[in-house]
Amino acid sequence: MDIVKIFDTTLRDGEQSPGCSMTIGEKLEMAKQLSYLNVDIIEAGFAISSKGDFESIKKIAQEIKGPAICSLARARQVDIDAAWEAIKYSSRPRIHTFLATSPLHMKHKLNKSEDEVVAIAVEAVKYAKKLCEDIEFSAEDAGRSDRNFLYRIFAEVIKAGATVINVPDTVGYTVPHEFGDLIRDIKNNTEGIEKVDISVHCHNDLGLGVANSISAVVNGATQVECAVNGIGERAGNASLEEIVMAIYTRGEFLNKKTNIKTTEIYRTSKLLSSITGVQVQPNKAIVGANAFLHEAGIHQDGVLKNRMTYEIMSAETIGLRDQELVLGKHSGRHAFKQRLIDLGFHLSEEQLEKGFVKFKALADEKKVVSDKDIESLVSNDTVQFEEKYKLEYVQVTAGNTTTPTATVRLSSKDGEILETACIGTGPVDAIYNAIEQLVGIKFNLQEYIVHAVTDGTDALGEVTVRIKEDEDVYTGRGSDTDVLVSTAQAFISAINKFLYYK
């Protein structure tokens, strides 16, 4: 079978989703997981866009082995220089430069003629080639570009040294048959195309990102650009897990395969949700909570007789397991560590120790600690960055005849202990008023989400919040059997991210 390369853009295009910005530590942790997943290329960011993005790309290039590490760059020397300075530490660096090619973009955004656009693209690729061997060129808005112009510009950048040409459906405008035809025509009419990879980057504005990507693969694309959980600008990117499992499940029909280690898919999806606070919908293909559940009686009957009657792939293929090892307060460190390995976690000894302490505390409150409990406990500690504030305790008085009052104590990284009490319209409002008073900043709470990790009254309560300061949104997350403690943890987590960025 032919190999289809998976180019992951979770850390670049995906991070551009509102509320999905990540710290350097979070990006590095996500990149490590992508290397376990065995993606072929990690687009680590857009180096020129900010100092933080540059530093995170550099850190990933220095530490991540295996996948090629790529930075986006406009077709400008200053962008290309920044990209190279960030990725040059990788053993497999790639510069990804782009320029708009649709009549709409060339006229209204670039104010350039076709000849001028070709000249700029060629000059950018030639300049990048002096720095880096692996150069990808993207024709922005290719889905709405003139085909003859695409043949021309791709042929010219290939002559200039491009090793990958990318055909993006930037605004998710095309439909599968149309996009497949475009890829086939580019393959058949572009001089030198046999020397390079043909890549596609499909957005999901019409819900067709994955379908367009698969149609492109059928018609000659050798690389697919996608993001974990389908995150990305507007309606998102084509979903990595859906593309990979479509190729895995229908490999014989497509005569294609990928290098992805599919048993890492579930863990990768959960890590991203933990970092960004953006949960996938229950009926999300492959990684949604309902993806392998059956409620209809006729379905249940068929599955009990033979799972293949209503399942075209097994849950184990993506890293889910039917059997849970029962853990409780008498379970030791070895059993806990083994369960984390089974669940796909790759933790340092320090992270393992912190998780074990939390596990023991939870086991004292619950008779049985489930896999979901463990995932929730440990996910908060997989990403390390310096936190200015930590919650020491929160105490709340509330009721239908009582003014809600919260007493909160925080410790700072400088060793200072801060404590105050505030009232509010409810217990959550009182807690947040107290925390804001202690840190001396007033935030705009954009979103407050609570959900139970498992069934039962002793379930962990997981809280995700989004706060806004100026135009930036920061996500925080907390989990505890007391939802008000989770509430305080989540708010402090978001504030620490804000302070880290600032």
pLDDT in tens, the chain (502 residues): 899 999 999 999 988 876 677 888 889 999 999 999 999 999 999 999 999 899 999 999 999 999 999 999 999 999 999 999 999 999 999 999 999 999 999 999 999 999 999 999 999 999 999 999 999 999 999 999 999 999 999 999 999 999 999 999 999 999 999 999 999 999 999 999 999 999 999 999 999 999 999 999 999 999 999 999 999 999 999 999 999 999 999 999 999 999 999 999 999 999 998 888 888 998 999 999 888 764 444 444 554 556 666 678 888 899 886 545 557 767 777 877 887 777 777 777 877 888 788 777 777 776 677 777 777 677 666 555 678 999 999 999 999 999 999 999 999 998 999 999 999 999 999 999 999 999 999 999 988 988 887 777 777 888 989 898 877 778 888 888 899 999 999 999 899 988 887 7
Beta bridge partners of 5: 223
Q: How far is CA 381 from the centre of its chain?
A: 17
Q: Is residue 209 within 8 Å of residue 200, measured between CB atoms? A: no
Residue 18 identity = P
**Residue carrying structure tokens 């890293």:** 319
Q: What is the pLDDT of residue 472?
A: 76
Q: Cα–Cα distance between 103 and 139 in angstroms, integer?
A: 12
- Run of H or E including 356: helix 349-365
Q: Is residue 45 within 8 Å of residue 56, measured between CB atoms? A: yes
Q: Cα–Cα distance between 408 and 129 in angstroms, integer?
A: 57
Beta bridge partners of 431: none
End-to-end Cα spacing for the chain: 49
CA atoms within 13 A on the CB side of 421: 7
Both tokens assigned to 362: 């939870």
Both tokens assigned to 26: 């979070």
- Run of H or E including 487: helix 483-501
E strands, 14-63, in order? 41-45
Strand 2-3, strand 472-480: pairing: unpaired
Sequence-ordered list of residues with C-beta below 8 angstroms from that of 159, at least 6 positions apart, any chain? 122, 192
Q: What is the pLDDT of residue 60?
A: 98
Tell me the backbone φ, ψ of residue 228, rounded to 5 degrees: -60, 135
Q: How far is CA 26 from CA 141, 210, 385, in A?
A: 30, 26, 8
Q: For 48, which DSSP code?
A: G
Q: Cα–Cα distance between 285 and 303 in angstroms, integer?
A: 18
Count of residues in the chain: 502
Q: Is residue 428 within 8 Å of residue 487, measured between CB atoms? A: yes
Sequence-ordered list of residues with C-beta below 8 angstroms from that of 193, at least 6 positions apart, any chain? 154, 155, 158, 165, 186, 187
Q: What is the pLDDT of residue 325?
A: 54
Residue 266: helix, strand or coil by DSSP?
A: helix
Q: What is the pLDDT of residue 366?
A: 67
Both tokens assigned to 198: 């043909």
Residue 260: helix, strand or coil by DSSP?
A: coil
% helix / strand / coil in the chain, to the nearest 5? 45, 20, 30
Q: Cα–Cα distance between 110 and 481 in angstroms, integer?
A: 55
Tell me the backbone φ, ψ of residue 495, rounded to 5 degrees: -65, -40
